Structure 1
Amino acid sequence: MSQPGTLILIMTIAVLAPLLAYGIGRWLPVPLVIFEILLGILIGPDVLGWAGEGQVIDTLSELGLAMLIFLAGYEIEFAKVRGDTLKRSVWAWLISLAVGLALGTLLADGSFSKGVYVGTALTSTALGTVLPVLRDAGDLHSRFGSVMMAVGAVGEFGPIIAMALLLSGRSPGESTVLLAVFALVTAGAVVWAVRPHRPWFAKIIAKTLHSSAQFAVRFVVLLLALMLGASEALGLDVLLGAFAAGLVTRLLLHAAVPENAHEILEKIESMGFGFLVPVFFVVTGIEFDLKALLSGGRTLLLLPVFLVLFLLVRGLPVYALAPRDLGRRDRKALTLLASTALPLVVAITTIGVDDGVLKPNDAAALVGAAMISVLVFPLIGLTLRAGKGARSLPRERREGAESW
């Protein structure tokens, strides 16, 4: 099928998926992304064969992944993601990385180069996927949501750093230097974002917010493009630039135009969740190697193994180091949500297959396990949270809590 025809199919799925999620959600709350991926598999080459491949579709998919990571970076609230909770989240992820690399190498029959791809994928958390689930459940601004935000931020940012260090093909020293340069670029952007801005900047944003000019939206897209360009110029994964752009954008909008920040975010989310992000997830389904998974043998056996490893490698350290003020049910729910993975698993396995290190069968098993994690883990986690409600902290406590 032609690329315009494939795009029509993708956008048709983007419209059908929320309808299915809404209809089935009355009995079983299934994350929207599941319908997007499953319907993508349905129209893909291994089932109906309706969808074709092409540069335009691939580019839109890559932009969708970048937008997903950008929005995940934007959601990070610095007043909450700090202190003891952040330290616990970092230590939990470092333990996950060490265990993941060891188990990944073991599963790869002692091949460390292959084990790096598998191990890094096992440490990821799909923050961009989990946050909409928490938002829809009204749990995003609760204490639980704040802890999940810290855990997810590290689980999203950590693997990106690990990819830059371990999967770049450069020496660790060279990779570290390039990361340090990017960190300086990001730090400079942060300093610029939080400094006082001239009145004309806020005025033009307010004046064009409801006009065809849309200065704020265009400026944010430019900022995203600049950070993506900076990461690519340094030979780093563009996802690192997307995440950093989200962080910088939040600081900029809340410093320069706090009264318009929420409305600007809604416009960016409309562009992301309304168009680009669904394209990424549907294309993920289209490109999923279903034949390799259903061929049986080692690939099919690896799927449940990887699913359990997401819980063991990523979830157990989070459970062990979760803040002590969370109850047991909340800690179990946190473990499940932290073990939910997909976007970075897709990105890491795609790189591994393109580099000729990962076999398509192994990548299919990893992505398949990640897809099941997105379907099963949030459902169980939200069920554990059911009855507790999305009890948000009072505003004064949310702004002044230092123990987090």
Structure 2
Amino acid sequence: MSQPGTLILIMSIAVLAPLLSYGIGRWIPVPLVIFEILLGILIGPDVLGLTHHEEAVDVLSNLGLSMLIFLAGYEIEFAAVRGDTLRRSVSAWAISLAAGLGIAFALTGGAVTKSFVIGTALTSTALGTVLPILRDSGDLKGRFGTVMMAFGTVGEFGPIIAMSLLLSGRNPGRSTVLLAAFAAVTAAAVLWALRPRPPWFADVIARTLHSSAQFAVRFVMLLLAAMLGLAAAFGLDTLLGAFAAGLLTRLVLNGAAPESSELILSKIEAMGFGFLVPIFFIVTGIQFDLDALLHGGRSLLLLPAFVLLFLLVRGLPAYALAPRDLGRRDRTALLLHNATALPLVVAITTIGLDDKVLTAGEAAALVGAGMVSVLVFPLLALRLRRSGQGTKPLPRPMQGSQTW
């Protein structure tokens, strides 16, 4: 199929997926990302064969992943992720990393690079996927939401740091120096973002919010492009730049135009969730190697094993180190939400495939396990918390930005 035809088909899937989510959501809240990936698999080369590799579509898909991580960075509220809760979340992720790398070394027979890929993937939390679900259910507010924000933030940011250090192909010492230099530049940018903006800045934002100029949106895109370019210049993964850009954007907008920040965010979300992010997930489905998964007996067995490892490696430390004021149900829900993984698993396995350290079957098993986690774990967590709070209904999957 020609390039325009491929993009038309992908966008047709992007329109169909919410309709399916809306219909099925009346009975069970299935995250929209699942429909996007499954429909991508359907039109991909292993099923209907309607799409094939297109460079332009790959560029849009990479932009979609960057936008996904950018929005995850924007969601972080510094006031909610500090103090004892932050220390506990960092400790839990450090334990997850040690456990993930140890288990991966045992599974691979000591293959270093492959162990880094698998071990890092096991430590990720799909904060971008979980946040809209928590927001729609009302669980993002209150103590549980604060704790989940802290643990989820570290589960999203930690693997990105680990990717830069362990999967860059460079000496870890050199990678650490480059990461420290990037952190220093980012810290300087944060200090700049915290400074009061001149009055004309807020005035330009207000005057162009509903005009063709759209200064605020253009400024946000400049921040994103600049941080992506900075990460690339330091030889780090561009996802680190996307995450940092999200943090900076929140600080700048809240400081310069707090009354307009929600409207500006809605415009950015419309661009991301309405166009770029669906392309990323649909292309993930198109590139999913279903044949390698189904016809490789070992790969098919690895999928449930990876699902279990997500629970043990990422979820169990979160349960063990959760603040003591959380009850057993909340701690178990925290375990399930933290074990939900997909976007970073896709990114990490892509690195593994590009470096030829993962087989197609192993990558498919990891991504497939991530899909299962997104489909099952948040739903179980919601039902668990609802069962302890009465009969409050589960959220409809189309509310808010459930695209994640």
Q: TM-score, normalised by structure 2?
A: 0.95
Partners of 1:390 and 1:153 lie apart in 2 by 29
* Residue 389 to residue 189, structure 1, CA distance change in 2 (3 Å): farther
Instruction: Answer whether contact 2:44 2:285 (CA < 8 A) is retained.
Output: yes
Which amino acid is 2:266 matched to? E
Q: CA RMSD in A?
A: 1.3
Deviation at 1:132, TM superposition (A): 1.7
Q: Secondary structure at the match of 2:270?
A: helix
1:77 corresponds to = 77
Q: Could you tell me which runs of 5 or more consecutive residues in structure 1 were left unpaired when the two chains were aligned.
A: 392-404
Give the superposition deviation at 1:149.
1.1
Q: Deviations over 1:53-97 (max 9, x none)?
A: 211100000000000000000000111111111110000000000
Alignment of 1:287-302 (within 5 A): 287-302=287-302
- Secondary structure at 1:79 match in 2: helix
Give the SS at the match of 1:7.
helix
Aligned to 2:39: 39
Letter in 1 for 2:43: I
Letter in 2 for 1:261: S
In the TM superposition, residue 52 of structure 1 has moved relative to its aligned partner by 2.2
CA distance in 2, matches of 1:138, 1:57: 36
Report the Cα offset of residue 103 of structure 1: 0.5
Offset of 1:355 from its aligned partner? Answer: 0.6
| 2:43/2:50 contact within 8 Å kept | yes
**1:2 and 1:52 in contact (8 A); partners too:** no
Tell me the residue number matched to 2:161.
161
**Amino acid of the residue matched to residue 31 of structure 1?**
P
Query: How far off its partner does 1:305 sit?
Result: 0.5
Distance 1:129 1:264 in 2: 21
Matches of residues 163-242 of structure 1 in structure 2 within 5 Å?
163-242=163-242
Matches within 5 A, 1:3-402: 3-387=3-387, 388=389
Q: Deviations over 1:268-296 (max 9, x none)?
A: 11111111111100100000000011114
Contact 1:3–1:53 (Cα < 8 Å) also in 2: no
Moved more, 291-300 or 88-97: 291-300
Q: For 1:237 and 1:341, locate their aligned partners in 2 and report how far apart those are by CA, in whole Å.
A: 19
Deviations 1:229-272 (A, max 9, x none): 00001000000000000001001110111111111111111111
Which has the higher mean CA deviation after the structures are superposed, 129-138 or 210-219? 129-138
Distance 1:175 1:101 in 2: 18
Question: What's 2:395 paired with?
Answer: none
The alignment covers a number of residue pairs equal to 391
Distance between the aligned counterparts of 1:113 and 1:266, measured in 2? 40
How far residue 110 of structure 1 moved from its aligned partner, in angstroms, is 1.8
Q: 1-10 vs 306-315, which deviates more? A: 1-10
Instruction: Indicate conservation of the 8 Å contact 1:17/1:35, yes or no.
Output: yes
CA distance in 1, matches of 2:4, 2:108: 40
Q: What secondary structure is seen at the aligned counterpart in 2 of 1:59?
A: helix
Structure 2 runs not aligned, ≥5 long: 393-404
Aligned counterparts of 1:153 and 1:11: Cα–Cα separation in 2: 30
Distance in 2, Cα, partners of 1:367 & 1:105:
19
State the alpha-carbon separation in 2 of the partners of residues 295 and 359 from structure 1.
Answer: 13
Could you tell me how far apart the structure 1 residues matched to 2:136 and 2:38 are? 21
Distance 1:122 1:27 in 2: 31
Tell me, in whole angstroms, the C-alpha distance in 2 between the residues paired with 1:390 and 1:19. Answer: 27
The TM-score with structure 1 as length reference comes to 0.95
Counterpart in 1 of 2:397? none
Compute the displacement of 1:390 (Å). 12
Q: Which amino acid aligns with 1:209?
A: L
Q: Distance in 2 between matches of 1:26 and 1:385?
A: 20
SS at match of 2:210: coil
Conserved 8 A contact 2:296-2:361: no
The answer as to whether partners of 1:302 and 1:365 remain within 8 angstroms in 2 is: yes
Residues 389, 159 of structure 1: CA spacing in aligned structure 2 closer, same or farther, 3 A cutoff? farther
Are residues 18 and 138 of structure 1, via their aligned partners in 2, closer, same or farther at CA, if it must alter by over 3 Å? Answer: farther
- Secondary structure at 1:236's aligned position in 2? coil
The answer to whether the 8 A contact 1:164-1:237 is kept is yes
Q: Which residue of 2 aligns with 1:399?
A: none
Q: 1:8 deviation in Å?
A: 1.0
Structure 1 CA distance, aligned partners of 2:357 and 2:135? 38
> 1:143: how far off?
2.1
Letter in 2 for 1:125: T
Deviations 1:4-29 (A, max 9, x none): 11111111111111111111111111
Work out the CA distance in 1 between the residues paired with 2:142 and 2:52. Answer: 43
Distance 2:82 2:230 in 1: 26
CA contact (8 A) 1:142 1:390 kept: no
Take 2:20 and 2:175, find their aligned partners in 1: how far apart are those partners?
Answer: 45
Bigger Cα displacement from structure 2, 370-379 vs 107-116: 107-116
